Amino acid sequence: MIIPNWLVQRAKLTPDAPALVSNGERWTFGELFEKSLEISQQLHHAGVQPGSRLALLSQSTEQTVFIIHACWLLRVEIVCLNNRLTPVELRWQVEDSEAEILLVDDTKYSTIDGVNCLTFSTLRRQTRKEYALEQQWEEEQTLSIMYTSGTTGAPKGVRQTAGNHTASALASALNLGLTEKDSWLCMMPLFHISGLSIIIRSVIYGMEMRLYEKFDAKEAAVQISAGNVTAMSVVALTLDQIVRVMESEHMKAHPSFRSMLVGGGSVPLDYLERAVARNLPILQTYGMTETCSQTTTLGKADARRKQGSAGKPLFFNQISIKGTDDQHVIGEVLIKGPHVTPGYVGSQKKRSPLTTDGWLATGDMGYIDDEGFLFIVDRRADLIISGGENIYPAEIENVLLAHPLIREAGVCGKEDVQWGQVPVAFVISETVTEKEILDFCEQRLARYKLPKKIYFVDELPRNASNKLMRFELKKRV
């Protein structure tokens, strides 16, 4: 399948349609194209070549949107870096991905030592150098790379192709529908697939994107109740915060607001009931970085009777349970479809994410009921979901075990009212203090990954093969 260069095609079709609203300014698709083309030519003058790979460290601002489109106009692959990571973590991802340059928003971040960096300010001072603008993309062409940790704690650079992103956007549109007045409220980080997918849907659909740098529950409630937006992506935590504002201010969603997509885990029944009272149409979803956002979605018509379900697969997608065709049998969830990544980069390049017959093994345990609805029982067994962020215990354990005074370490999730879960650690050590451990971790882990409590123990629960049994740690918590 040949795919049109999204922004080039959209600027031809609807150049005067609203494309982006951010920080009080507005851009049409024609203006978005011209702005992005200018930056792409500045990138080219700075030495960035078509077909190369660039890492991006930035905030969720209009400049980031321009730069993402600029890279794609120039046919440059983007490594989307989580701006909450430490310099050590960032450097590792840049090096592992083999990105030739790191583009840094120097109004917010410092450059990384030992990495070839280009700052936003330097880029915007460049003159323009023209290049041959491609009108079409190949389906298998990689557009973005996002790092996601595996169950071993080793981050994997996931390839996301033009075909993957296009299939995901089309499947979502077939599920949600489109109107001429659609506007997607984006308060998700653009380095996450949830945020990047909104940029992509915007140009494919010809839909306005209303962008905010950070999540703001009060502002979200205002936009939703005023009728300025028709859709939004959230996690359960942020949904609850929006509903609380709407309750305190006696607000209800405007009739034009059509979809509140909720990912990152099932939505508590209390949240659903309170959201319904505010006229918020909730659609629960299940997806992964490897699937370019949604694989299944639970529609509002089934939200109450299928509480806890992640819904049915979208039009192009398939799901199954490994080793069984029976209903209500728990097993590993498998996914197949054109939205599934073809593979990884860097240290995991030789590792295929697919089985021999083309299924993606998710590592998530779940079952399919007699009506075809998917229920996720446990996300990778030990996965900690904190405020919608995935935290893998092994990654934290590897950092703890790097401390010279810690002999053994185990990490699990603890229930938390605000964040859903937070990580806690069990360590075997006779001399180190909790403060020393946390200081050590702060240099090597993003803040949301830091253990919220250190338990000093004499031994850790292990099986006959000396494998750590994290479910026993959860019992102790």
CATH number, domain of 272, equals: 3.40.50.12780
Residue 151's pLDDT is what? 41
The share of the chain scoring above pLDDT 90, in percent, equals 74
Asked if the structure places residue 40 within a domain, the reply is yes
Domain boundary among 335, 351, 378: 378
Alpha carbon distance 121, 107 (integer Å): 8
Residue 259's pLDDT is what? 94
Task: Supply φ then ψ for residue 408, to 5 degrees.
Answer: -140, 155
User: Mean pLDDT lowest for which of 58-62, 263-267, 439-443?
Assistant: 263-267
Residue 377's pLDDT is what? 73
Q: 6 and 71 in one domain?
A: yes
Alpha carbon distance 318, 312 (integer Å): 9
Q: Identify whether the C-beta of residue 296 lies closer than 8 Å to the C-beta of residue 316.
A: no
Asked if the structure places residue 223 within a domain, the reply is yes
Q: Which two tokens stand for residue 292?
A: 């370019």
Residue 277, pLDDT above cutoff 80: yes
Q: How many domains does the chain have?
A: 3
Residue 467's pLDDT is what? 61
Residue 464, pLDDT above cutoff 70: no
Residue 40, pLDDT above cutoff 60: yes
Residue 394's pLDDT is what? 78
Asked if the structure places residue 152 within a domain, the reply is no
Q: Which two tokens stand for residue 415?
A: 């229930």
Alpha carbon distance 438, 77 (integer Å): 36
Q: Identify whether the C-beta of residue 305 lies closer than 8 Å to the C-beta of residue 209.
A: no
Residue 359, pLDDT above cutoff 90: yes
User: Mean pLDDT lowest for which of 213-227, 376-390, 415-429?
Assistant: 376-390
Assign 13 a pLDDT band (cuts: 50, 70, 90): very high
Q: 220 and 312 in one domain?
A: yes
Q: What is the pLDDT of residues 102-113, one digit of tens each?
A: 999 999 999 999
Residue 152, pLDDT above cutoff 60: no
Residue 307, pLDDT above cutoff 80: no
Q: What is the pLDDT of residues 164-186, one digit of tens each?
A: 999 999 999 999 999 999 999 99
Asked if the structure places residue 155 within a domain, the reply is no
Assign 219 a pLDDT band (cuts: 50, 70, 90): very high
Q: Which one is predicted more confidently, 201 or 396?
A: 201
Top-confidence range, 131-135, 405-409, 459-463: 131-135
* DSSP bridge partners of 285: 297
Q: 303 and 208 in one domain?
A: yes
Q: What is the mean pLDDT of the chain?
A: 92
CA angle 303/305/311 to nearest 5° reads 50
Asked if the structure places residue 156 within a domain, the reply is no
Q: Identify whether the C-beta of residue 157 lies closer than 8 Å to the C-beta of residue 96.
A: yes
Q: 125 and 228 in one domain?
A: no
**377-412 burial code (b ≥16 CB/10 A, e <16):** eebbebbbbbbbbbbbbbbbbbbbeebeebebbbbb
What is the arithmetic mean of pLDDT over 436-450?
94
Domain boundary among 356, 378, 400: 378
Q: 312 and 202 in one domain?
A: yes
Assign 393 a pLDDT band (cuts: 50, 70, 90): confident
Q: 37 and 79 in one domain?
A: yes
Q: What is the pLDDT of residues 80-138, one digit of tens each?
A: 999 988 999 999 999 999 999 999 999 999 999 999 999 999 999 999 999 999 999 99
Residue 299's pLDDT is what? 79
Task: Supply φ then ψ for residue 351, to 5 degrees.
Answer: -90, 120
Burial class (CB within 10 angstroms; exposed 0-12, middle 13-18, buried 19+) of 122: middle
Q: 289 and 187 in one domain?
A: yes
**Minimal CA–CA distance to 294: which of 473, 172, 209, 435?**
172
Task: Supply φ then ψ for residue 74, to 5 degrees.
Answer: -85, 0
Assign 266 a pLDDT band (cuts: 50, 70, 90): low
Burial class (CB within 10 angstroms; exposed 0-12, middle 13-18, buried 19+) of 13: exposed
User: Mean pLDDT lowest for which of 29-33, 118-122, 155-159, 390-394?
Assistant: 390-394
Question: What does the CA dihedral 265, 64, 291, 341 come to, rounded to 10 degrees?
Answer: -150
Q: Which two tokens stand for residue 265?
A: 């885990």
Asked if the structure places residue 450 within a domain, the reply is yes
Q: Model's pTM, two decimal places? A: 0.84
Its domain, for residue 425, covers 384-476
The contacts of residue 383 (CB under 8 Å, 6+ apart) are: 151, 390, 391, 392, 413
Asked if the structure places residue 161 within a domain, the reply is no
Residue 463's pLDDT is what? 61
* CATH code, domain with 453: 3.30.300.30
Q: 357 and 313 in one domain?
A: yes
Residue 236's pLDDT is what? 80
Alpha carbon distance 194, 192 (integer Å): 5
Top-confidence range, 86-100, 261-275, 455-469: 86-100
Domain boundary among 138, 153, 188: 138
The share of the chain scoring above pLDDT 70, in percent, equals 96
Asked if the structure places residue 164 within a domain, the reply is no
**Minimal CA–CA distance to 460: which of 440, 444, 445, 475?**
475
Q: 414 and 298 in one domain?
A: no
3-state secondary structure the chain: CEEECHHHHHHHHCCCCEEEEECCEEEEHHHHHHHHHHHHHHHHHCCCCCCCEEEEECCCCHHHHHHHHHHHHCCCEEEECCCCCCHHHHHHHHHHHCCCEEEECCCCCCCCCCCCEEEHHHHCCCCCCCCCCCCEEECCCEEEEEEEECCCCCEEEEEEEHHHHHHHHHHHHHHHCCCCCCEEEECCCCCCHHHHHHHHHHHHHCCEEEECCCCCHHHHHHHHHHCCCCEEEEEHHHHHHHHHHHHHCCCCCCCCCCEEEEECCCCCHHHHHHHHHCCCCEEEEEEEHHHCEEEEEECHHHCCCCCCEEEEECCCCEEEECCECCCCCCEEEEEECCCCCCCEEHHHCCCCCECCCCCEEEEEEEEECCCCCEEEEECCCCCEEECCEEECHHHHHHHHHCCCCCCEEEEEEEEECCCEEEEEEEEECCCCCHHHHHHHHHCCCCHHHCCCCEEECCCCCECCCCCECHHHHHHHC
Residue 18, pLDDT above cutoff 60: yes
Q: 98 and 39 in one domain?
A: yes
Q: Which one is predicted more confidently, 382 or 7?
A: 7
* CATH code, domain with 76: 3.40.50.980
Residue 145's pLDDT is what? 98
**Minimal CA–CA distance to 84: which of 451, 454, 442, 452?**
442
Q: Which two tokens stand for residue 323?
A: 């080793």
Q: 180 and 132 in one domain?
A: no
Q: 389 and 335 in one domain?
A: no
Top-confidence range, 146-150, 350-354, 393-397: 350-354
Assign 380 a pLDDT band (cuts: 50, 70, 90): low
Residue 465's pLDDT is what? 41
Q: What is the pLDDT of residues 318-327, one digit of tens each?
A: 999 998 999 9
Alpha carbon distance 265, 420 (integer Å): 10
User: Mean pLDDT lowest for which of 82-86, 129-133, 203-207, 468-472?
Assistant: 468-472
